[in-house]
């Protein structure tokens, strides 16, 4: 049997210290990333000045000219600071008004689409009318005005073709 050289209270004390160190290390691991989230990453000063032509300017650098400027960053809330001019430009491009040329093109495209829709509707209506006509007893008239006799099989084939056309053209 092996005996310990340390008394039991010393082992308990050692275990307690070891657990405290581990707890401290784990706490530090979880707290450290939070300090980056809470602390702002950067702070820029904002300057405002009016040039000789009366225009008001804002910048993160004071003016190079010998013009009096005022540091106004403390007067601005974080919501007023634009961190991404690229995003602003993207939004302006996305929501910009159409130019007169673009509006004319859109109107032309709309007119073309309306013509196509009208032709499709006319073709649909024609096919429906022809199908209605060849249902039941049928005879056809050729270009010279003579009656053309068709068999029941030919009539059914024409009816099937018209039904397919209706499915294809009619929505």
Query: Tell me: the pLDDT tens digits for 104-133?
Result: 999 999 999 999 999 988 988 888 888 877
Asked, for residue 30, whether it belongs to a domain, the answer is: no
Is there a domain that residue 143 lies in? Answer: yes
* Residue 84 resides in a domain: no
24 within domain boundaries:
no
Tell me whether residue 113 is in a domain.
yes
Kindly state whether residue 157 falls inside one of the protein's structural domains: yes
Question: Is 25 inside any structural domain?
Answer: no
Inside any domain, residue 158: yes
pLDDT value of position 18: 76
User: With contact defined as beta carbons under 8 Å apart, do 48 and 70 qualify?
Assistant: yes
Task: Show the domain range for 153.
Answer: 100-169
- Give the predicted TM-score (pTM) of the model: 0.33
**Cβ-proximal residues to 165 (8 Å cutoff; 6+ apart), any chain:** 123, 127
34-71 pLDDT, tens digit per residue, is 555 444 445 567 778 888 888 888 787 778 777 777 77
Our count of domains for the chain comes to: 1
Q: How far is CA 146 from each of CA 24, 35, 142, rounded to the nearest angstrom?
A: 105, 96, 6
């Amino acid at each position: 049997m092996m005996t310990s050289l340390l008394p039991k209270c010393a082992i308990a004390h050692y275990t307690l210290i070891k657990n405290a160190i581990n707890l401290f290390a784990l706490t530090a691991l979880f707290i450290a990333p939070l300090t980056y989230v809470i602390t702002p990453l950067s702070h820029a000063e904002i300057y405002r000045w009016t040039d000789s032509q009366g225009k008001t300017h804002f910048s993160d650098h004071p003016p190079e000219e010998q013009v009096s400027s005022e540091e106004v960053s403390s007067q601005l809330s974080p919501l007023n600071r634009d961190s991404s001019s690229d995003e602003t430009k993207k939004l302006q491009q996305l929501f910009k008004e159409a130019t007169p040329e673009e509006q004319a093109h859109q109107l032309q495209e709309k007119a073309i689409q309306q013509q196509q829709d009208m032709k499709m509707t006319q073709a649909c209506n024609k096919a429906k009318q022809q199908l209605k006509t060849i249902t039941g007893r049928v005879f056809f008239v050729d270009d010279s005005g003579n009656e053309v006799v068709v068999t029941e099989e030919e009539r059914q084939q024409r009816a099937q073709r018209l039904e397919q056309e209706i499915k294809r053209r009619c929505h």
